[in-house]
């Protein structure tokens, strides 16, 4: 939590003024019982009506001043807390954006969403409550005890016993509940993960009639969270009744002692009333303090979870600047992409996903990558833009290791269209400009036309200004894929990776897309990952993967002649009697 307080440094004035005005309010509140005692003893006891009215005016003045101080304190506390959470969210989001795919895969999406929303909100509430009550409540508790001593030492000794006893109860419950709140937040992560998974895969769940099983699985996780929350809630709920029992017992003893002292003539009735009022103030403030501690406990647990994310550093370091020229191999052939005996193992995986991948691609070539499900096709192409680093071997672009590039330069060289077509809420134009911020109207339409998306874009209301819903829900699967391809083409990358990004396109559109990409200006090197043999049939090289290893590499005719894995894939789609 201490490390997160750095986000409060721009709100030093607010963090000082908020508790200061609360202390002023508390000070005025401590004078109220003394004024009441004077009204009872001198005003009512002496039958002095004018004195009662004057002191009544003093009470009103104390109340108004206290209200103004309280409102001012609330304003500054809220301003500091909201500003703190805003900066914390920005910083947390920026940190997560800087993590590599390895760390994001390890953390999980649901956990990061929970920590950026629910956890930050809990910390915000904690900061707000601390600024308002952390000094005020103890100040009134000890201030009331001191004021009680000014009235009568013997009666005030009851306060000396009561306050430590209450402190033991409050802090004891806090120590028990703090680790439990961490478990509650972890349970919330699990429920959020299950919810997100169900909403994302709702069509699959319904297609296989698995609604009941998913409901039962969700209820199990939700019930576990509910039971945990009930248990920790019951422990926290003990605070109020136990403190009330102690305070009320102390009040009974105080009234008895006060009655005896009044009978002896040591103190007056007004002073007894003042002592009881001070005891009531202590009761109210300790209940507030108990609730404050519960809030702080939650906030600290959430702050630790947020800090854990900040402490996770990316395993992928990027160069700030790059320099050097592309190396040229013997014989004068310049290779744009080299995989030099590359191995890849994901974090926490029991085995390698890719083993001894070795191939070289010339500039302007089209490379097809094919293999069974889980053979490592996407893993291979994800290493070119350096989404993941090789655990062994080197991946080079233009003769330089991808680790030697800055992120900006590498992303300019490599354009990738992922398997899942992801579009963001906004216009088609705004989505396309992700590929190149300053792209002209002509460049946008050229990319749209190459991606075979011109026909449907022109039919949309507003054309490039057509509003795309979140994740492109108001577009078909094929339309989404074509727009994501257009987005990658806008930047005119030297290397284009199509990671099974035409699966929703019909064969004719797929063929037209590949032809249009081949006809583009410049010597673009294209990697096509596909399950369709027809999509990669005319590639200059075809890499066949089998369980993370290269089964073979060659042209379509060469592989059809000698590679059993390629033969199996090809003839499963096209019988031997059928030619494409």
Specify the CATH superfamily of domain 335-573.
P-loop containing nucleotide triphosphate hydrolases (3.40.50.300)
pLDDT score recorded for residue 321: 65
Strands 467-468 and 426-427 turn out to be antiparallel
Q: How many residues does the chain have?
A: 580
pLDDT score recorded for residue 330: 40
pLDDT score recorded for residue 329: 41
pLDDT score recorded for residue 322: 52
Every domain of the chain and the residues it spans? 2-311, 335-573
Structure tokens at 217: 């699985």
Residue 371 and residue 550 in contact, taking contact as beta carbons nearer than 8 Å = no
Q: What CA–CA distance (Å, rounded) separates 580 from 567? A: 14
pLDDT score recorded for residue 576: 65
Which residues lie closer than 8 Å to 406 by C-beta, 6 or more apart? 318, 319, 320, 321, 322
pLDDT score recorded for residue 352: 83
Residue 380 and residue 354 in contact, taking contact as beta carbons nearer than 8 Å = yes
Residue 489 and residue 415 in contact, taking contact as beta carbons nearer than 8 Å = yes
Q: What CA–CA distance (Å, rounded) separates 211 from 201? A: 11
Q: Which of 407, 409, 386 is nearest to 396 (CA)?
A: 386
Give the Å distances, CA to CA, from 91 to 4, 98, 116, 491, 561.
10, 11, 10, 29, 56
Q: What CA–CA distance (Å, rounded) separates 80 from 239? A: 29
Phi, psi (5° rounding) for residue 498? -110, 100
Q: What CA–CA distance (Å, rounded) separates 280 from 252? A: 12
Radius of gyration of the CA atoms of the chain, in A: 35
pLDDT score recorded for residue 69: 92
pLDDT score recorded for residue 324: 47
Residue 35 and residue 59 in contact, taking contact as beta carbons nearer than 8 Å = yes
Q: What CA–CA distance (Å, rounded) separates 113 from 109? A: 6
- Taking only the tens of pLDDT, the chain with its 580 residues reads 667 878 888 888 888 999 899 889 888 888 888 888 888 888 787 778 888 888 889 889 988 998 999 999 999 999 999 999 999 999 999 888 888 888 887 777 778 888 888 889 989 998 998 888 888 888 888 888 888 888 888 877 887 888 788 778 877 877 787 778 778 877 887 888 888 888 878 888 888 888 898 899 889 888 988 998 898 888 878 877 887 888 888 888 888 888 888 888 788 888 888 888 887 887 778 777 777 877 887 888 888 888 888 888 887 777 776 554 444 444 334 688 999 999 998 877 778 888 989 999 988 888 999 988 888 888 899 999 888 888 888 999 988 888 888 888 888 888 888 888 888 888 888 888 888 888 888 888 888 888 888 888 888 888 888 888 887 888 888 888 888 888 888 888 889 888 887 777 777 887 888 888 887 777 789 898 888 888 888 888 999 998 888 889 998 888 888 888 888 888 888 776 554 4
CA angle 511, 516, 517 (to 5 degrees): 100
CATH number (1.20.1560.10, 1.10.3720.10, 3.40.47.10, 3.40.50.300) of 2-311 reads 1.20.1560.10
Return the percentage of the chain with pLDDT > 70, whole number: 96
Q: What is the pLDDT of residues 453-489, one digit of tens each?
A: 888 888 888 888 888 888 788 888 888 888 888 888 8
């Amino acid at each position: 939590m201490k490390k997160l307080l750095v986000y409060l440094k721009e709100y030093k004035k607010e963090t000082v003024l908020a508790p200061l005005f609360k202390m002023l309010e508390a000070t005025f509140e401590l004078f109220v019982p003394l004024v009441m005692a004077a009204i009872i003893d001198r005003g009512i006891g002496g039958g002095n009506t004018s004195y009662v009215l004057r002191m009544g005016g003093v009470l009103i003045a104390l109340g108004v001043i206290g209200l103004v101080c309280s409102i001012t304190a609330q304003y500054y506390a809220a301003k500091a807390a909201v500003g703190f959470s805003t900066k914390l969210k920005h910083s947390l989001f920026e940190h997560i954006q800087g993590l590599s795919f390895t760390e994001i895969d390890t953390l999980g999406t649901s956990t990061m969403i929970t920590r950026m929303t629910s956890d930050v909100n809990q910390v915000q509430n904690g900061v707000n409550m601390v600024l308002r009550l952390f000094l005020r409540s103890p100040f009134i508790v000890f201030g009331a005890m001191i004021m009680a001593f000014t009235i009568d030492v013997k009666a005030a000794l009851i306060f000396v016993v009561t306050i430590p006893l209450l402190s033991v109860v409050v802090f004891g419950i806090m120590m028990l509940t703090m680790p439990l709140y961490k478990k509650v937040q972890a349970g919330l992560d699990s429920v959020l993960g299950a919810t997100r998974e169900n909403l994302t895969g709702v069509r699959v769940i319904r297609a296989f009639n698995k609604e009941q099983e998913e409901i039962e699985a969700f209820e199990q996780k939700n019930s576990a969270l509910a039971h945990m929350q009930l248990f920790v809630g019951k422990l926290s709920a003990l605070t109020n009744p136990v403190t009330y029992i102690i305070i009320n017992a102390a009040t009974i003893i105080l009234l008895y002692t006060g009655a005896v002292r009044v009978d002896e003539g040591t103190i007056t009735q007004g002073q007894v009333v003042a002592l009881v009022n001070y005891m009531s103030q202590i009761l109210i403030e300790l209940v507030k303090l108990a609730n404050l501690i519960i809030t702080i406990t939650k906030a600290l647990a959430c702050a630790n979870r947020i800090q854990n994310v900040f402490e996770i550093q990316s395993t992928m370091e990027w160069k700030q600047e790059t320099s050097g020229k592309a190396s040229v191999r013997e014989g004068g052939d310049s290779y744009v992409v080299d995989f030099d005996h590359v191995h890849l193992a994901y974090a926490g995986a029991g085995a390698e996903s890719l083993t001894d991948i070795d191939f070289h691609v010339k500039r302007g070539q089209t490379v097809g990558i094919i293999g069974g499900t889980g053979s490592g096709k996407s893993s291979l192409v994800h290493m070119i833009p350096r989404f993941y680093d090789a655990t062994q071997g080197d991946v080079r672009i233009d003769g330089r290791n991808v680790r030697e590039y800055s992120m900006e330069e590498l992303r300019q060289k490599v354009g990738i269209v992922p398997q899942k077509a992801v579009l963001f809420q906004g216009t088609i134009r705004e989505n396309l400009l992700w590929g190149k911020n300053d792209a002209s109207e002509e460049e946008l339409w050229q990319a749209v036309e190459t991606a075979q998306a011109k026909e449907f874009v022109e039919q949309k209301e507003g054309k490039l200004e057509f509003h795309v819903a979140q994740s492109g829900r108001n577009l078909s699967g094929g339309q989404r894929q074509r727009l994501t391809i257009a987005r990658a083409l806008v930047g005119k990358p030297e290397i284009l990776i199509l990671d099974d990004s035409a699966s929703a396109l019909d064969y004719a559109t797929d063929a037209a897309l590949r032809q249009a990409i081949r006809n583009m200006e410049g010597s673009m090197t294209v990697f096509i990952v596909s399950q369709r043999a027809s999509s990669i049939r005319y590639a200059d090289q075809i890499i066949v993967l089998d369980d993370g290893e290269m089964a073979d590499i060659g042209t379509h005719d060469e592989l059809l002649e000698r590679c059993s894995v390629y033969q199996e894939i090809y003839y499963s789609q096209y019988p031997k009697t059928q030619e494409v």
